[in-house]
Chains A and B, each alone.
Chain A
Amino acid sequence: MTNAVEADNLVKRFGTLTALNEVSFVVHEGEIYGIIGPNGAGKTTALRIIGTLIRPTSGTVRVFDIDVTKDSSKVRGLLSYLPEEAGAYRNLSGFEYLRFMASFHTKNSKELDRMVEEGAAISGLGNRLEDRVKGYSKGMNRRLLLARALMVRPRLAILDEPTGGLDVVHALHIRQTIRDHVEKLGTTILLSSHNMLEVEYLCSRVALINQGRVVAQGPPNELKDRYRAQNLEEVFVEAMKNV
């Protein structure tokens, strides 16, 4: 099995703060891998390093065997990144935004149209895509951004808190979209969440992270068995006792 992501002994310091402390994990191609933990645990920092936005203080990350620090531009061609607090350009319409983003991934006009059509379908926003983004609700905005991330059919999609702050209807739509996309196209998804029930529903394997350290990792069922827990929240509490 090919590895989509290999993080090895990642350390990231911001001044005196250690955000990541010797974090290692592997994401296999075609799986949904979840990084879970409370706010400030280091999830976003790990995803930003893999997404080529920031550099590790030490340690390495390889995406499909390409080093993210040494060859970041090549890595950017393979992935799509959805930041936690992302926005779209307020003065563009939903369609204009999708077309703008798609045009960085292909020069072929047919492929461009295909991406925009697929993006429109994934978003499920219908005619509202004609409207300017500044009139969108938070849920609509998130659906547009997820559509942007998936329509280009990346080999690796990094989704930071994809349903964070959304109501049940929008959160359900997004979870279903992620699952459908992976089943249909075999895209690798690396997501973060502090909603452990959501991760249990979506992910084939997870890493529990706290204060910059991985405290446990594996498939959700295996972790539940290991810690004799009913769900991942209980696993997290038990794993923390052993740190």
Chain B
Amino acid sequence: MSSSLRVLLLKELKELLRDPKILVGMVLMPIIILPIMGGAITLSQEAVKKELASTSIAVVDRDASIASSSLVGFLRYTNQTVLSIPLGDEKQVISRLLETNATLLLEIPQSYGSNVSKGDIGILNVYAVVKSLGLAESTRGSLIEQVMSAYSYTLSIQKIQELLERSNLTRINPQNVYAPLSVNYHSVVKGKVAEAAPQAIVGLLMSQGIMLPITMIMMLTFSMQIAATSIAVEKEEKTLETLMTLPIGRLTIMIGKLAGSILVAVAGAFAYMVGFGYYMNSAMGFADRGSTSISLSSLGFSLDLGAYLLLGVTIFVTLVSGLALALSVAVFTDSVRSAQSIVGVIYVPVMVPMLILMFADLAMLPLPVQIALYALPYTHSLLASRAIFMGDYITALTSIGYITIFTVIVLYVAARIFTSERVITAKIGPPRLSFLRRYHSPS
């Protein structure tokens, strides 16, 4: 690295990282705010768990039969706190329920036992006290549902067993009658067979498929914003003219800005990913995890050194093109505000393909949309990254080639602008609301 470039790069880093807007907004905020959000979610989930553990179920047994006693016994067996409530009409029962700390009431109607023993449907009534609109309420509802469903299964097995015994078919397992099929799902991925249902694997890949575009979008938008800001600050603070008369090449100045923006953007994206990862872990912690023990590497999705290098090249050329694009556009503005608004417009072709490809494959889309997306270079950033994960290096290299050509063109244009006088003379101010002035100006 030439000493001028090193000096410029150090200055860029100092300037950018000492700017509270960039340091706080792009580096510190994600690393602090996202974990705080995750922590808040964990805290509320812990509170819900605690609340559920202390849930009591009130029971009104109008049937007082062996079947109803068996049901109450099952509730106790599943570690639920059961409170018996004296009989009365609905109004009286509810008012007694509200006097207790129970939030669920199970009413066993009079005909329950006889219906079940006759082989008819046994009807039960559940009342849930809704105290708030929080997550705990819906989870509490599903808790009684799970217990009832488990009891319903136990009753079914008992019934089947009785019927089998009556028919002298005791060698048959009642569970096999209840669920006569058992399917072992397998998925074939990249020629390898994995013992898992396709939805489990797709779920696993989806998280990668979503994380990859999000990472790319974050890195690109961070770095483009930083690059645009760094050139616009030079114009706004009137430092660019002096810089341009120093005995250094203008391309060196441009490369210094690109390199400084990349470094700060990588730090920003890293901070975001750390924060986001923690947030996701906390947010997903409540969902049932461990239902699948498949790892991406066991399915052949691990990357070797060459694949990592290709991924690095993809990210690098994508970043450089985004930065050069942002610099080329921001050069025409005269303030940070105008630069940031104008760079916001470039986000559209960057984000649209990534958002579409987050949920759909290109082949699923109508042909004109496919052509439009293929034409956009940032589609290829994602296509290349996915192809690298799938081991499809031909597609990856083709896409990398396309982005590289685009990057070279953008860099050439940026270099032309930087070596021309437009870098000094071009001025696009903040958007003017000319139509408003037209209406309000005195005629």
Contact = CB atoms under 8 A, between A and B. Distances in A.
Contact of B239 (A54, A87, A96, A105): A87
A154 to B, nearest CB: 10
B1 interface: no
B4 interface: yes
Given A91-B15, A91-B19, A104 B238 contact: no
A86 B421 contact: no
Contact of A91 (B18, B241, B242, B425): B18
Interface string A47-71: 0100111110000000000000000
B358 interface: no
A228 interface: no
Interface stretch (B43-51, B107-115, B246-254, B395-403): B246-254
A103 B5 CA distance: 11
Contacts of A107: 3
Contact of A104 (B7, B14, B19): B7
A100 B421 contact: no
Contacts of B19: 91
A86 B245 CA distance: 12
Contacts of A88: 237, 239
A83 B238 contact: yes
Nearest to A101: B246
A157 to B, nearest CB: 11
B424 A54 contact: yes
Contacts of B239: 86-89
B76 interface: no
Contacts, number: 73
B96 interface: no
Contact of B421 (A54, A90, A96, A103): A54
Given A52-B245, A76-B245, A81-B245, A87 B237 contact: yes
Given A53-B421, A53-B424, A100 B242 contact: no
Interface in B114-139: none
Contact of B238 (A48, A53, A87): A87
Contacts of B7: 100, 103-104
B245 A104 contact: no
B238 A100 contact: no
Interface residues on A, range: 20 to 34
B247 A105 contact: yes
A167 interface: no
A86 B238 contact: yes
A145 B242 CA distance: 9
Contact of A51 (B11, B237, B238, B245): B245
Given A54-B421, A54-B425, A104-B4, A90 B245 contact: no
B421 A55 contact: yes
A73 B239 CA distance: 19
A2 to B, nearest CB: 21
A14 interface: yes
Given A53-B421, A55-B421, A76-B246, 13 more contacts: A51-B245, A54-B421, A76-B245, A76-B247, A80-B245, A81-B242, A81-B245, A83-B242, A85-B238, A87-B238, A88-B237, A100-B11, A103-B3
18 contacts: A48-B241, A52-B245, A53-B244, A53-B424, A54-B424, A79-B245, A81-B242, A83-B238, A86-B242, A87-B237, A87-B239, A88-B239, A91-B15, A100-B7, A103-B3, A103-B4, A104-B7, A105-B246
The 10 closest A-B pairs by CB, nearest first: A91-B18, A81-B245, A54-B421, A87-B238, A87-B237, A83-B241, A77-B247, A76-B247, A104-B246, A103-B7
Interface of B: 3-4, 7, 11, 14-15, 18-19, 237-239, 241-242, 244-249, 421, 424-425
Interface of A: 14, 48, 51-55, 73, 76-77, 79-83, 85-92, 96, 100-101, 103-105, 107, 132, 145, 148
